[in-house]
Amino acid sequence: MQVNAVQRSILESGSWFAGCAPDLKTKLLAIALCCDYSEGEMLFRRGDAPDGLYAVLSGSVRIYGLDSHGKEALLTFIEAPNWIGEVSLFDKNVRTHNASAETQTKLLHFPQKALHDLLNASPQFWQDFGCLLTHKLRLSFLLLEDMALLPAPIRLAKRLVLIAQEQTFNSAEASRSPVVVNVPQESLARLLSVSRQTANQILKDLADLNLICLSYGKIEITDLAGLRAFVGGKTLS
């Protein structure tokens, strides 16, 4: 199935795909498959063989682990225009965590074999995928530091800023338009290792400051510049 202009524009709104060489973009779009997932449907499970990369076009993907008793460790949510699955592209090892659709979600799937055929023919593009991998690694280190050093209100606000940045490549446009975060408040609390009551109170405080607007299952960032100022002007990069 051919990627249409709207889907390509979503990919282009992300900094990684926008920075790829035109030839790599063309080759990637030629192997892409468009997939729709219903809420709760699994993309893959921990231990599954790698099946390639995914790019989120709409909706949200939940990344998490489960212990032997079914207790969940929620790692993150992936929203458009971000990518999933680059670790297994490099080491060809099994999936490290579970990934499921948090809401009705549309993805582009880039199959593992087609990707390796592409990279075997054009090995210079490995560096591009390396940049995708190291971007995630940098964010992981910074988020671990935040967990250790920042108070809960700043951590929560900073995570909202991060999600907004990951969704919007054009920062000027993001500052003018509301950014919708499709993450339930309970899930956001678990993501930050705080109680639901604590997360709800922080969100209400941010809403009282007219920085966000709350509705069922989502958070609308109405003043991204103000939210950045709340966390001290610091953003993740």
**Quick one: average pLDDT of 96-101?**
96
The whole-number pLDDT of residue 207 equals 95
Angle at Cα 97 formed by Cα 96 and Cα 101, nearest 5°? 145
Maximum Cα interatomic distance, the chain, rounded to a whole number of Å = 55
The whole-number pLDDT of residue 164 equals 82
Residue 235 has pLDDT above 50, yes or no: no
How much is the pTM?
Answer: 0.82
Encode pLDDT of 100-155 as tens digits: 999 899 999 999 999 999 999 999 999 999 999 998 899 889 888 988 899 999 99
The whole-number pLDDT of residue 98 equals 97
**Quick one: average pLDDT of 28-54?**
97
User: Out of 34-43, 76-85, 167-176, which region has the weakest mean confidence (pLDDT)?
Assistant: 167-176
Q: Measuring CA to CA, which residue among 158, 164, 160, 153 is closest to residue 202?
A: 153
Encode pLDDT of 166-222 as tens digits: 765 444 444 556 788 878 888 889 889 899 999 999 999 999 999 999 988 789 999
The CB density around residue 126, as the number of other CB atoms within 10 Å, is: 12
End-to-end CA distance of the chain: 34
Residue 237 has pLDDT above 60, yes or no: no
Q: Measuring CA to CA, which residue among 115, 117, 143, 142 is closest to residue 129?
A: 115
* 96 contacts 84 by C-beta, under 8 angstroms: no
Beta bridge partners of 58: 106
Residue 236: pLDDT band with limits 50, 70, 90: very low
The whole-number pLDDT of residue 193 equals 87
